[in-house]
A and B are shown apart, each in its own frame.
Chain A
């Protein structure tokens, strides 16, 4: 096999626990990478995918060590090579593009220096040639004005630009293999799509083999030829991308794909129970056994081997894959539609709300200067009906979380009124709000690690609202806590646990329980699923939906993920730079014609389907501040009309389907323009 550039044989990497046990992070990994091929390695956090990627560079993190197996680069084992030889391979033959370029670029060194360093190490260019090469590389990753860029420090660039610099640095040594460790995680939707397109172009141009590690099946679908699915340190599936994403023959991949919300199908995806086991817990049998719907007795005692099926060029680690091959027709059967009982009475009315982060300076106060005329969030008008789920969507800096905070009273509004239950005006000072109104509005946060007090037990956490609002105590309190926990499917034995002893999904359930314990009318959900693994996300979404159907709660759901929003919301409001762009029933917002920004967002969504390509209609520029006048989206709009967009704030127009669009372009024109592309 001349074609193989890297081959991994029976690789096991692990650590020694405090009790002296040897625990494997990677178990018996065998696979190979062909010349010019792009391989996606997909798995959830803790699946061992990053450890595998690092091992492919001969790097094992502090505390871990190779237990057995080898990692061959052209028949040299990288894992027992000395440092001198590794230095000649790293960066020159195999280069890495890291997960978080912002942290992976050395802060005290200029961009130009860091790229030059790689060139100096891995090429024979002279100084002038290297300078030329730096500009060339920065050009190649489409960074504007390369000469200026080379003189900048990493922190002076935006996240997308940092990631591009990392790509340029990796390309400097002209490597045979590029390893990408979650290269687009943490970037905005549109930036992510652009970086992926760039990587696709580079793969084609240079003929480099790429190994793309990610938790995101959408991104994997965009770039890879072949996919390796990892679960709990093992390869469970390995084969061509189309086959794996269209007809997954491993129960884990099957469940995972079903649990991902998709733009094209409304309603909540099926959820998977449980979560990935911690390393070292599973001693025998299949690691997916306890979450598997297809499991039999033999799965618990016998460990399945990776079996190669030559007809579909796929390897699978499962005893029951034949069942799955036969049931591919029923793949999309069980999507759950929303069943919200929306009442006609308005529960929350946000009118003319503006919020500013700029603090008035002492001097300005003295001089009685007029306040910030360009606030972070401006002119927000939204009505929410009882029982409805309204989603606020936008990229970072869109002001969606800011609005949520001022509804909760955590941030003072500059102008405007927020009314609750028709006629109760909510004070913009938290201390002046009535306790009953405070109880009525509860928050669930993005990251349960931050939102749960690490020094409180689950019992103490859930008891807080019960004690505060209902004055419960003693056995009555305990009874109620157990009741609430039961609603989020957590048993009584969780009472004495601390957050650190729970999995991500369980922690978020505790946060949900705490919010519902207050018997609120409205729950504000701030990116509640974005810190969770894909397979856990669907379960939390389903739980939220069930609870709201039981209690008739109203949700305001903030997210950057358009597919998640599509799944859970009745109505969507799209925000850019703190200004509303479009609002309407989610079904119609997701259809064209829509506001140019919505169009850009929708075009950038990555679906876990190799046949759906993103449409990139606008540049991914990062704007730091909303423009002083005119339309908020003028700087990036692909359909800009001209001066009118820069001078006048666009009017609200009714779309065809009951969605309102705030744009100078007539809806009919929008429709024509958007259907042509």
Chain B
């Protein structure tokens, strides 16, 4: 029992240390602050929004920002401030769970391919390549238009399409590790394949996969908002930044505030996640700037 506790404590310590390293550089600190702010906002905003996000009032149409309506109102007379602070909730939830799914299936398939190598690896990678060559936006649009835009569809679909990149990274990392002498040594001792994967390979590819997952998160957010923007993400009247930008765009020559508020919300979240992912990669000693966004 005592041993187990010690081990868990050390994992917490490790996480704490990583966060400390991430926050030690200004860019990492800013990223962490922005991200935590958004997460906090998403968790708590329903409790203190000033207005009802779906209350339509034609008399309040396109009001400029005032002390009453901080960010003005949109073309249906809804409060832009209310909708903006609520607008990240769906995006954050969908993309967070989507990245988790991407991480799990991409990571396991990648490790598997790296391990078995040979023909099976070739065939799987060829199929992955084929999936990769269909622009994600086309595939996503097709799926969403046929199956609907509920989160139950969006999360696995996004998770699936953004997992392809993780497969590649996990596979390459496994390839690198598997040639090392400590794996040879474990094989020569006669450990089972499962124990080699769990004890020897996983700890060494974990970092690369996790960093990749963090990167996927920011790209998935980008993809998800693009879908929303095109009208294939969340359905109205749910407040969502992508959708809000799309709706307010036509009237932005009269009411720029209705566009700028969600743009600010979305941009800051994406930048926050990106800076955090960058700092995370650096804290784990992985250079992410050589990777392609696929």
Contacts and interface: CB of A to CB of B under 8 A. Distances in A.
A450 interface: yes
A233 interface: no
Interface in A400-421: 408-410
Interface string A413-453: 00000000000000000100101001101110111001111
Nearest to A452: B182
Interface string B191-223: 100000001100110000000000000000000
A468 B182 contact: no
A456 B203 contact: yes
B181 A451 contact: yes
Contacts of A409: 188
A455 interface: yes
A435 B190 contact: yes
Contacts of A410: 184, 187-188
Interface string A464-485: 1100110000100000000000
A454 B199 CA distance: 12
Nearest to A474: B3
A443 B185 contact: yes
A468 B181 contact: no
Contact of B190 (A447, A451, A468): A468
A445 B181 contact: yes
Interface residues of B, number: 16
B287 to A, nearest CB: 16
A163 B200 CA distance: 38
B182 A443 contact: no
Contacts of A445: 181, 184-185
A450 B203 contact: no
B25 to A, nearest CB: 12
B180 interface: yes
Interface residues of A, number: 28
Contact of A450 (B181, B186, B190): B181
A316 interface: no
A468 B188 CA distance: 12
Contact of B182 (A441, A450, A474): A450
A453 B203 contact: yes
A445 B183 CA distance: 12
Given A410-B184, A447-B181, A455 B191 contact: no
A409 B182 CA distance: 15
B9 interface: no
A518 interface: yes
A438 B182 contact: no
Contacts of B3: 474
B189 interface: yes
B203 A430 contact: no
Contacts of B186: 464
B204 A455 contact: yes
Contacts of A464: 186, 189, 191, 199
Contacts of A465: 189
A451 B185 contact: yes
B200 A408 contact: no
A453 B190 contact: no
A430 B200 contact: no
A430 B190 contact: yes
Nearest to A444: B185
Given A445-B181, A447-B181, A453 B188 contact: no
B189 A453 contact: no
A454 B204 contact: yes
A456 B180 CA distance: 14
A453 B184 CA distance: 11
Given A450-B180, A450-B181, A451-B181, A408 B188 contact: yes
Contact of A430 (B181, B188, B204): B188
Nearest to A435: B190
A468 B203 CA distance: 19
A443 B182 CA distance: 10
Contacts of B180: 450-451
Contacts of A514: 185
B191 A453 contact: no
A456 B10 CA distance: 13
Contacts of B188: 408-410, 430, 438, 441-443
A110 B149 CA distance: 59
Contact of B189 (A450, A455, A468, A474): A468
Contacts of B185: 443, 445, 451, 514
Contacts of A439: 189-190
B171 to A, nearest CB: 19
Nearest to B203: A455
A72 B190 CA distance: 60
A637 to B, nearest CB: 35
A438 B191 CA distance: 10
A388 B183 CA distance: 28
Nearest to A433: B190
A408 B187 CA distance: 10
A451 B183 CA distance: 8
A445 B185 CA distance: 8
Nearest to B190: A438
A450 B178 CA distance: 11
Nearest to A457: B10
Interface in B106-150: none
Nearest to A438: B190
A504 to B, nearest CB: 15
Contacts of A442: 188-189
A528 to B, nearest CB: 12
Interface string A582-612: 0000000000000000000000000000000
Contacts of A446: 181
Contacts of A430: 187-188, 190
Contacts of A452: 182
A451 B182 contact: yes
A453 B187 contact: no
Contacts of A451: 180-182, 184-185
A320 B45 CA distance: 76
Q: Which 4 residue pairs are nearest across A and B when measured between Cβ atoms?
A: A455-B203, A438-B190, A451-B181, A450-B181
Given A438-B188, A464-B186, A468-B189, 14 more contacts: A438-B190, A442-B188, A442-B189, A443-B185, A445-B181, A445-B185, A447-B181, A451-B180, A453-B204, A464-B189, A464-B191, A464-B199, A465-B189, A469-B189
15 contacts: A409-B188, A410-B184, A410-B187, A445-B185, A446-B181, A450-B180, A451-B180, A451-B181, A453-B182, A453-B204, A455-B203, A464-B189, A465-B189, A469-B189, A474-B3
Interface of B: 3, 180-182, 184-191, 199-200, 203-204
